[in-house]
A and B are shown apart, each in its own frame.
Chain A
Amino acid sequence: MTLDPTLALVETRKVFAGEGTVAQAVFYGLSVLTIATFFTGIVLRVRKYGRGRPAREGRWMRPSHREDVPEVTTKPSFAKGFWTVATNRTISRDQPSVGMAHLLVFWGFLGLFAATTILSLDYDILGNVSPLLVGHTVSFFHGPFYLAYNAVFNLAGVIAILGTAHLMGRRASHKEPRLDYTRAFKPEEGYSRKRFMQGDWLFLWLLMALFVTGFLIQGLRIDEAHFPGFERWTWMGYLTGLGWNAVGVGPHLAAHVHPWLWWFHILMALAFVAYVPFSKANHMIASPANLVVNDPANTRRLPSPPSGHPGYTSLADFTPKELLGLDACTKCGRCHYVCPARTAGAPLSPRDLILDLRQWVNRQEHIPVVLDQEERPAATGPLAANGSTAVAGDVIAPLTLWSCTTCMACVEVCPVGIEHVPSIIQMRRKLVDEGTMDATLQSALQNIAQQGNSMGKSARMRARWTKGLDFTIPDARKEPVEYLWFVGDFASFDDRLQGLSRTLAGILHHAGISFGLLYEDERNSGNDVRRVGEEGLFEMLVEHNLAALAKADFQTIITTDPHTYNTLRNEYPSYGLDKPVRHYSEVLTDLVLSGRLPIKPLGGHVTYHDPCYLGRYNRVLDAPRALIEGLGCELVEMPRNRTGSFCCGAGGGRIWMDDSFLEERPSENRMKEAVALGVDTFVVACPKDFAMFSDAVKTTGNEGKMTVVDIVQLVDRALDRDRLPSLQAAQAAPEPTA
């Protein structure tokens, strides 16, 4: 297959310039081998995903329509997934410079990949097919197309180099905690993660070497061809050629060096392709795929346990999507960085969890991995030689699983759409089934099973907090009301929080809102019970609460606790609840902003803590802020705010568990963040937050400097009682103190 030399007169270049037939045969032989290796790797991965739960149960993809979960963000779709991939949006969200560098590498690499593909289309496909069809070789790799091709893909190469260089520089110079692979859970016998580091560097150096040698070859070729004018379009190659010349490599020498460097580049490129599915580079395939199928609603509304199993025991229990998610992880460490458990010194890092699961799965599936693996002196945990180790307990230690507050910060921040929390709950379900749990958690669950509340108080005492009000709250089971107030355990039973409930009741009453309670029929809503992993108890609670709600005549549910809000809003509909659910902060916002509650502006600077289950989970972010400002307070944001809010540490059932092993409670960490702002008021909109942060103020020694205030207390303080009509009527009666 020799080319007609006259063709060289037009703007093009010889493919395989100067390579003999043998060399071409070797090249094609290696190419076939490389492609076979690449696809073997892909097949191994896909086969691995197929080992998960059958797709019909586990759902490979997001359901196309989903009426039972209200969307809180823009509805996920495949188009949006592709957009996220194309823009690298999720990578630059919290680290713009890293995101930009990655975007350069991403598009640069795609460009170079496109360049190779186009060349292959022209030379290998068209070049071989056209003689059979039209009797002579057809090519479009010349003329203006050739010039544009070079100009554009030179740009791709340059941005890829710039991006890669930035990422290398970051790794080399910054010792960011997220790039440090120190484990949160430390195996007894020790471990080494230096191969993680080596894998990262190998990947970067391979990329860099490929990009750079590409230009070097181009430069040699142009040098060798005595710099034809049209090659100026190949601007970076032309410049490189000039560079060669400048260091003394003239056309003659270039002709000698060219084949050597060409082989070096080609072998490396082929090796890279073969390396992709067995290394960190695999994320180029798995991460975009995961972003396209991910579904944040999975965390708001937890999936059921696999049928016939109480929770996860083996690889076969994981959904294909979860297994894909494990491969998607790039070890970027964002989750590690934001995790309240990890921050508090608990043995949980979402990244470690994903990497451990990945390594455990790959071991079982005998998928070879180039570097990028943890080593241990003994084959324990995720490294255990076979799949017989219990995933919940051995691969992932029980305390690691129990450390999760289900705050969802990891899911929120993950740039590749991994859903850590549902997998953690599935594993917790197994622990619950075995009875492997904290004694205090066990007694909380027993109390909930027996009395319907975690405190083990009599159900008949549930509405006792209403004593001391100067009015009676209607029993929604006996008379129709507009709002059904689902008070929740803590707001009903906890001495420190009952006052807040009375304050809210008073405000709703004076605002003339028609609202009622379920009284002793209300049970723990089960949000945290479900997140602890006690699915059976959750279902029992749902059944009871739905039966109780069915007895009541109302339009809308109000909840005090954001956790309750989440499950009623996102999970109860699957069981048949068809009423809207609102958080009390939303209702108060409406009342104040609509003027139904007259306000005397308070003034002063406050900060606001977004409860995880209100902000991140359900995107109620603006209402509390509008309310705070509507009350005349100036809101000073903490650095971690809105969907980036930092958990108080109480969620996911952690409030029922021992936290003495923590180095610093998340609430204390958060309190220090707030104190540093210089404000003296810490506004919360969650009963658990009120309790957790009131304690944190004391334990961090900030009494007198910081006061924790529930948003309802703020409204109560700002309330202009003189202008409150119903209160004027009852002027004689003293105001109940909360």
Chain B
Amino acid sequence: MRIVVAMRQLADLVEELEVDDSGTDIDREFVKFVANEFDESALEEALLIKEGVGADQVEVVAVALDEPDVDQTLYTALAKGADKAVKLAGVPEGWVSSHTRASAIAKWLESQQWDLVITGVQAADDLDGQVAGLLGRMLGVPHVAVVVSAVPEGNVVKVSQELGGGTVAEEEVAMPAVLGVQAARQSPRYAPITRIRQAMQAGGLSEETVEVSGDGGRPTVRRLYAPEKSGQAEMLTGSAADVADKIIELIRAKGLVKS
């Protein structure tokens, strides 16, 4: 069984993001890029499948477009237990649309044997939709988003999908299929830096070039801006005791505290 984990880089949301001179994209010069956290969950789920089925029967391949600091993400995937890591070159720099991303991966998959593509359910800059759904449709295979557990059984994968409100749907999906993972069965494992460095020294990152078409499917961004702070909250100030008094008063006014 061969599982492809589609990963990607995303601006570190911890950083303050600034808009570049064009006014339609973030300033990519100074921002730090890290792995999309949902993709890390996707990788974790793939590794759990590998451990569950048997390490010798499952190959996990991490694939990502060539974006800033992507090597770090791919080597981390290797350090965590992925068998192979592939960097896809040939995609224009900058804000890659989800449609472009999906078609690049679809293009690369044409040359690959695979049973399952697992990727993060979403990324914070997915303006034109999420990769799992786009990719599934492009490949003409079933796809499921918001997956919280995936366990292969024969030629199907048993998937748990969160529907919201805590309700979970259980589905059986014939492989090949594409899954968008919301959370893995356990939180992503830690990759010790020593292991990442070992993976780096060992090399093992293969680079392939794909040809992709333009940004079809994405609306034209005309303005990117920070939302104005509505600042509607009335701030309660003073000592902790003062604030506590005011809060009690507010709750009491609603009749929710006795006396």
Contact = CB atoms under 8 A, between A and B. Distances in A.
A458 B190 contact: no
Interface stretch (A81-89, A429-437, A652-660): A429-437
Contact of A460 (B15, B193, B194, B196): B15
A62 interface: no
Given A450-B12, A457-B14, A435 B194 contact: no
A450 B32 CA distance: 9
B14 A456 contact: yes
A4 to B, nearest CB: 77
Contacts of B193: 449, 534, 536-537, 539-540
Interface string B163-187: 0000000000000000000000001
Interface in A15-34: none
Interface in B158-217: 187, 189-190, 192-197
Contacts of A534: 192-193
Contacts of B195: 310, 433, 536
A442 interface: yes
Contact of B189 (A435, A451, A458, A539): A435
A8 interface: no
Given A456-B14, A458-B16, A536 B190 contact: no
A285 B107 CA distance: 72
B141 interface: no
Given A451-B14, A460-B15, A446 B194 contact: no
A437 B187 CA distance: 12
Contacts of B197: 536
Nearest to B196: A536
A689 interface: no
A463 to B, nearest CB: 14
A709 interface: no
A429 to B, nearest CB: 9
B15 A432 contact: no
Contacts, number: 45
B34 interface: yes
Contacts of B189: 435
A458 B14 contact: yes
Interface string A440-458: 0010011001110000111
Contact of B192 (A439, A451, A536): A536
Most buried by A among B189, B193, B196: B193
A484 B197 CA distance: 30
A535 interface: yes
Most buried by B among A432, A450, A457, A536: A536
A437 B15 contact: no
A303 to B, nearest CB: 15
Contacts of A458: 12, 14-16
B15 A445 contact: no
A527 B189 CA distance: 23
Contact of A446 (B16, B32, B190): B190
Contacts of B34: 450
A435 B12 contact: no
A449 B192 CA distance: 10
A367 to B, nearest CB: 34
Contacts of A433: 192, 194-195
A458 B190 CA distance: 20
B44 to A, nearest CB: 11
A115 to B, nearest CB: 57
Interface in A514-566: 534-537, 539-540
B12 A442 contact: no
A536 B194 contact: yes
A439 B187 contact: yes
A439 B34 CA distance: 20
A393 to B, nearest CB: 15
Given A433-B195, A536-B195, A536-B196, A445 B14 contact: no
Contacts of A439: 187
Nearest to A436: B190
B101 to A, nearest CB: 23
B18 to A, nearest CB: 11
B190 A445 contact: yes
Contacts of B32: 450
B196 to A, nearest CB: 7
Interface string B30-73: 00101000000000000000000000000000000000000000
Interface string B6-34: 00000010111000000000000000101
Most buried by B among A433, A458, A537: A458
B110 to A, nearest CB: 34
B76 to A, nearest CB: 9
Interface in A460-499: 460
A458 B12 CA distance: 9
A535 B194 contact: yes
Contacts of A446: 190
Closest 4 CB pairs of A and B: A536-B193, A536-B194, A537-B193, A435-B189
14 contacts: A432-B192, A433-B192, A435-B192, A439-B187, A450-B14, A450-B32, A457-B14, A458-B12, A458-B16, A460-B16, A535-B194, A536-B195, A537-B192, A539-B193
Given A310-B195, A535-B194, 11 more contacts: A310-B194, A435-B189, A435-B190, A451-B12, A458-B16, A534-B193, A536-B194, A536-B197, A537-B192, A537-B193, A539-B193
